[in-house]
A and B are shown apart, each in its own frame.
Chain A
């Protein structure tokens, strides 16, 4: 069972470069999320998608864009990377839709360093 798969696991970028983090789930989940995790802070929501075709900003969306390509895939793009975007990024999914909650399934994380 693959669950939630995110790639790449590690990436080093130079300031100003762009990249896309890919996330795919095979559980037919409705909702997908992108979080960042920084030392000493809780997970913070960047963007989420409550269902295919919809995306919404979370707590820290600046500098990021997302695409819900289909029900399985939710990508996160950094158009012009900045050192402040050095972090560990997690993709997550849940069966529940909006205004509900369900068990969360997380990817293994992507460690991004911006020099």
Chain B
């Protein structure tokens, strides 16, 4: 069983819809990353959080440490949001080498 599970694996939405991508983890963590992988393959960091909530533009990331769960929300989705979204958890007390990646959620936003 993967220690970091994402759901759904694939998601298709209409432009303008509110989108939620979930990430659950089974290990104790000190931080969690949300990454975006563009259709061309490049990966960019969206958020790094260890508690609460962060917002950047139309993107919101939340984390509940007690429930071992994080969500990435996209408001007013747009076709340019189409990408693979990846969460990665840093094992509590582990070094940077202990980032555990989810398999990603492929989002497609239709106009």
Contact = CB atoms under 8 A, between A and B. Distances in A.
Interface size class of A (residues with CB under 8 A): 20 to 34
Interface residue SS majority, chain B: strand
13 contacts: A42-B86, A43-B86, A56-B95, A56-B97, A58-B97, A94-B96, A99-B95, A101-B90, A102-B48, A103-B45, A106-B42, A106-B43, A109-B42
Contact of B101 (A42, A56, A103, A105): A42
B110 interface: no
Interface string B92-104: 0111110111111
Contacts of A88: 41
A43 B42 contact: no
Nearest to A96: B96
Contacts of B48: 101-104
Interface of A: 31, 33, 40-45, 48, 50, 56, 58, 88, 90, 92, 94, 96-106, 108-109, 111
Interface size class of B (residues with CB under 8 A): 20 to 34
Contacts of B42: 106, 108-109
A98 B35 CA distance: 21
